[in-house]
Structure formats: C-alpha cells, structure tokens
Chain A
Amino acid sequence: DGGITQSPKYLFRKEGQNVTLSCEQNLNHDAMYWYRQDPGQGLRLIYYSQIVNDFQKGDIAEGYSVSREKKESFPLTVTSAQKNPTAFYLCASSPTGSDGNTIYFGEGSWLTVV
C-alpha cells in the first residue's frame, strides 16, 4: 500500500541523548515535512524539503536536524540541544512543494524524555 511510514511509534530518550525518527514514503512525492504537535495544540513546522539533497528550516528548527539523501526518506534527529523534546512528531509529504498541495501524513511518533 502507498503511504508514509514513521518509526518508531513510541520512543523514550534520556536527557543528553540524540534520537532519530524515521520517515519513509513510497508515494514518489518530491516534498517532505516534519511537524511537532504538543498536547491540545496545532502543528508547528520543524523542517521541510522540496527536493532531494535540499531542505529548509521551519518555524521551530532549533535543536533538530534532518537529511534528505534519498527521495523516499527524511529522517529527523532530535538533538540534546532541544530542551523540551517531549511531543508528538508528524512526518508528511506532498507531490511537490508548491503552495496549496494536498499533504499526506504519517501516523506519528511519540517522543518522551525520561
């Protein structure tokens, strides 16, 4: 089935550790995105990529890093510099990065700092 796969669904991080969230899509989409959602809140854009080997910071990029070496993959690393990383993380993709495209979401990953 076509779609976006995020893993793991649940992840626990000790303070001071880096963790990487995986996102893979088989929709042949050019653009991919990472969002953060805190309980009861909207989505905030962390990073986005409109094409392989290129990505841009979103509104809350500090403490996060990404790579886009392959079209289908857009992993997000939550670094120790992110002081409050406990949240729900959503990966998404769209056919292109053009404004107004429909965005397709994965099922999300819960990250908890212990």
Chain B
Amino acid sequence: EVQLVESGGGLVQPGGSLRLSCAASGFSFSDFYMDWFRQAPGKGLEWVGRATNYKGDTYTTSYAASVRGRFTVSRDDSKLYLQMNSLEVEDTAVYYCAQNYYYRSEYWGQGTLVTVSS
C-alpha cells in the first residue's frame, strides 16, 4: 500500500524558516517524480515544486514562481523534503506531498499545516 506521511509543519514568524518532510513507503520511491502542493485556507490547490526521479544520486527540481528562490525541494532514497526560507504570511497553507506519475497525482499525503504569523 502506498503511503505518504508529511511532517514538520507548525507556527513560524514571518521571515522564518521551516523544513517539511514526506516519508514514502509501499512503492519504489526513487523511480517516481514527487511534487509538493499547498492549499491556503478556503482556497484552491497550488503546485509548489517538484523533484524528478532519483537516479545515481542525482535529480532535478522545479518551482512555482511564487516560491522560487525561497523554497528548496530535495530528496534522498526514502524521503522528500521542502526547505522553506523567508516565509511570508501568504505561505500559510496545508502542504501536501504527492507522487507524480505521467502528469497526475494518484497518491497524496494527509497534509501538514504551516502557519506564518507574528
């Protein structure tokens, strides 16, 4: 059974940093692209960033314009990470990790809430 479990959310002040983790199991994690999405309270979904599959310790990343330069996606052989720096109030959201398979995400984590507030 595919499982994705996010952790690391919490309350942080504007300008602060937070690192989210996503633990994967039940599939060959290194073979799949992985995405981070977020959903602000009462709003729609937003793609945040992606890591390609993990071959020979290498992968590439891509980001939404709204987080580029502030957020960094990384991965190892069993976890996906999202390092969030220079956080803004507008980054307040539930953050989800999801498996990407040919332009669709069938498996999602349960989400972790990040609140940016003073």
Q: Do A and B bind each other?
A: no
